Amino acid sequence: MKKSLLAVAAIGAFASAAQAQSSVTVYGILDVGVVGATSRQAYGNAQSSVTSGVVNSTSLGVLSGAESTSRLGFKGSEDLGGGMSAFFTTEWKLDPDAAGTPFSTATGDRQTFVGLKKNGLGDFALGTQYTIVHQAVAITDPGMQNNMSGNLIFSGGTGVATLNKLGSSTQSLTAVTNANGVTAGTSYTIRQSNALTLNTDVIGGFKGHVMLTQNNSNQTQVNSTTGGNTNASGWGLGVDYNYNKLLLTANYQSFIARNTSAAVATDTMVATGAGQSNAVGTNVNDQQQYYAATYDFGILKAYAQYVNRVMTQNNNSTIYQKYAAEQIGVRSFITPTIEAWASGGYGNFINAGVSNPKANLVGFQLGSNYWLSKRTNLYAIYGQTSTSNVASTAAPTVYTSFNQANYAVGLRHTF
């Protein structure tokens, strides 16, 4: 009898321990389709590797991530009692169209963080995370942050990658788009490592966000190239306001990188927190703002967005990069299973310094989803970005305009 009671007690203790374990969810996205692109680069003078003043490029291939970046993730939570819980998320990018391993090995390519949540107050998390601006764009972008051309607020860059991957142009499209300001992540920093984030619960329609990043290293400087300070820090503030069918959001974030041993000539501007990189740059002050509004009319949802980014060299404030763009759009379910969206925007980009290269930008995008189920959809997307009045110092040296059209038809499954 005693042995039976002991066995029952042991089973009960094991069951209680099992219930206290974290609940873990495996999730992901697989997005593969036929992606094509065309580009036209017009030059102001003849180049040594170009036989005419215009270079046209085309590409077509089966690629991943046109509507959503393919990924695999694990997330979980544990109830700690008293309204407190612990949570975590870790992700990897998937490249189903790539040769070899389908997993991306790029550092900081996705999120990985751990945090605590208190019901009624909010949560905080530590690790590699989306920035405040990126989170705000996620809830106010008519194209839902797809990776096609034509979106001047979120520049995912699938079109650029497509041309680099399959194109046969003798010129570097990356160099061209760097000068135009339409490469991936040009408009704002998408994610940051070494980050602490705090999010409040909704109070009176308001929800607040705070972000702090820190990665400092100090060493005794022995000469002009070794030692010294290599400090990267940043912060951000954001607030969302919901009232019935109206959503407003205002966000600001700033990143600073200082390296006392780096010379002015080696200061890095283009790499400043751009795209998927966690690097803040070298001796750079990077300030980013984002404001947006959405209103749900029932038959459609309207969007208005504005982004502004200024990057300045710490050692020489006369050298800077500026990007600004505004965009409007709509999104609606035409039928219970067919969803469509459209957006259009205008912007400008200036790279102050040698010859002050600048460009005016215009972009638009059209897209549609046909939902086969809650998790699976077919999509068709077309986007176009154009620049004018360009004077670039990047190779090729001088050109006057650039046009890129991007289209995709594919299948996306979430799990």
Would you state the pLDDT for residue 221? 52
Using the predicted structure, report yes or no on whether residue 36 has a pLDDT greater than 60.
yes
> Which has more pLDDT, 346 or 316?
346
State the Cα–Cα distance between residues 342 and 26, nearest whole angstrom. 32
pLDDT digits (tens, 9 = 90+) for 105-136: 554 468 999 999 999 999 999 999 999 999 99
Q: What's the confidence (pLDDT) of residue 217?
A: 61
Distance (Å, whole) CA 352 – CA 129 = 31
The answer for 221, left when phi > 0, alpha when psi is -120 to 50, beta otherwise, is: beta
**CATH assignment at residue 143:** 2.40.160.10
Residue 354 has pLDDT above 80, yes or no: no
In a domain, 46, yes or no: yes
Instruction: Pick the more confident residue, 59 or 128.
Output: 128
Lookup: tokens for 26: 């495996």
Decide if 217 is inside a domain. Answer: yes
Lowest mean pLDDT among 193-197, 247-251, 291-295: 193-197
Whether residue 327 contacts residue 143, with contact meaning beta carbons closer than 8 Å, is answered with: no
d(CA 315, CA 400): 31
Tell me: pLDDT of 346 over 50. Answer: yes
Cα–Cα distances (Å) from 369 to 67, 248, 274, 338, 378, in that order, read 10, 26, 29, 6, 6
Residues facing residue 410 across a β-bridge: 33, 379
Q: Which residue has the tokens 């039928």?
A: 335
At 156 the pLDDT is 59
Read off the pLDDT of residues 12-30 as tens digits, 9 standing for 90 and up.
Answer: 443 444 444 568 999 999 9
Q: Which of 77-81, 260-264, 276-280 has the lowest mean pLDDT?
A: 276-280
Domain span including residue 94: 32-414
Q: Is the pLDDT of residue 355 over 80?
A: no
Predicted TM-score (pTM) of this structure: 0.82
Mean pLDDT over each residue of the chain, to the nearest integer? 77
Q: How many domains does the chain have?
A: 1
Residue 259 has pLDDT above 80, yes or no: no
Structural domain contains residue 15: no
Does any domain span residue 356?
A: yes
Nearest Cα residue to 410 out of 26, 19, 29: 29
Exposure string for 344-380, b = 16+ CB within 10 A, e = fewer: bbebbbbbbeeeebbbebbbbbbbbbebeeeeebebb
pLDDT score at 102: 63
Asked if residue 379 is part of any domain, the answer here is yes
Collapsing DSSP to helix, strand or coil, 347 comes out as strand
